[in-house]
Chains A and B, each alone.
Chain A
Amino acid sequence: MRQNKLIIRRIGIILTFLSLFSIAAIFEFGVTTKCENLLEIIMFIFIGIFLLSLQITFIKTGLWKFTHKPLAKLDERELILTNKSLRLAYGIFAVTLLLLLLIFSVSERSLSIVLVATLIIFAHLLPAAIIAWTKKQ
């Protein structure tokens, strides 16, 4: 039962991040293609998947609320848990951001507002995603 819940949570995390970055990719590279209508439909599907998986994996489980709680409201175990997840999230986010900046600077492209917004959402979701991915309960 616990194992099943963990698998469902992990699928939710993958879907959330996959849809989030797909939305950004469509915004970023969609303008250069000719099939605008098809891309719009695909993008709305991805927005739907993102909102649904965000609701099921992060909001309904209370993980979003948990990682955004004031420090004074956390007990010592929760503090250790959030500290560990923030430490890992910081590393993952820094590497992702630096890689993106490298790719964009090599290809002489500028970062769009959508991509920056995506990265802000990504940074806020990462600590909760790490807890959801690693913790059995």
Chain B
Amino acid sequence: MESRKIYNRISLIRKEKSISRKELAEKIGVNFQTIGYLEREEYNPSLDLAFRISETFELPIDIIFSTKPFKTISEF
């Protein structure tokens, strides 16, 4: 079964919180290259990893991940 694409705001939130890819990778226990894959939406994280990201950013999971593309400011 082919899984759906999961959209995320990891890159945006990470930059907002001034965290480097390496720091985020260390905090959630993955290779820093995996952060790149996540940010480019080339890899769908597991539920466990998604929760770890949400706990690190201290934000609800649905703010970070969505099954639909996030709206840009001009689209509101």
Contact = CB atoms under 8 A, between A and B. Distances in A.
Interface string B20-64: 000000000111011001000001011011000000000000000
Interface residues of A, number: 5
Interface string A67-91: 0000000011110000000000000
Contacts of A137: 33
Contacts of A75: 29-31, 34
B37 A77 contact: yes
A137 B43 CA distance: 13
Nearest to B45: A76
> Which one of A76, A77, A78 has the highest number of Cβ atoms from chain B below 10 Å of its Cβ?
A77
Contact of A78 (B31, B46, B48, B49): B31
B2 to A, nearest CB: 14
18 contacts: A75-B29, A75-B30, A75-B31, A75-B34, A76-B30, A76-B34, A76-B45, A76-B46, A76-B48, A76-B49, A77-B30, A77-B31, A77-B34, A77-B37, A77-B43, A78-B31, A78-B34, A137-B33
Interface of A: 75-78, 137
Q: Which A-B residue pairs are the 6 nearest by beta carbons?
A: A75-B30, A77-B34, A77-B43, A75-B31, A75-B34, A76-B46
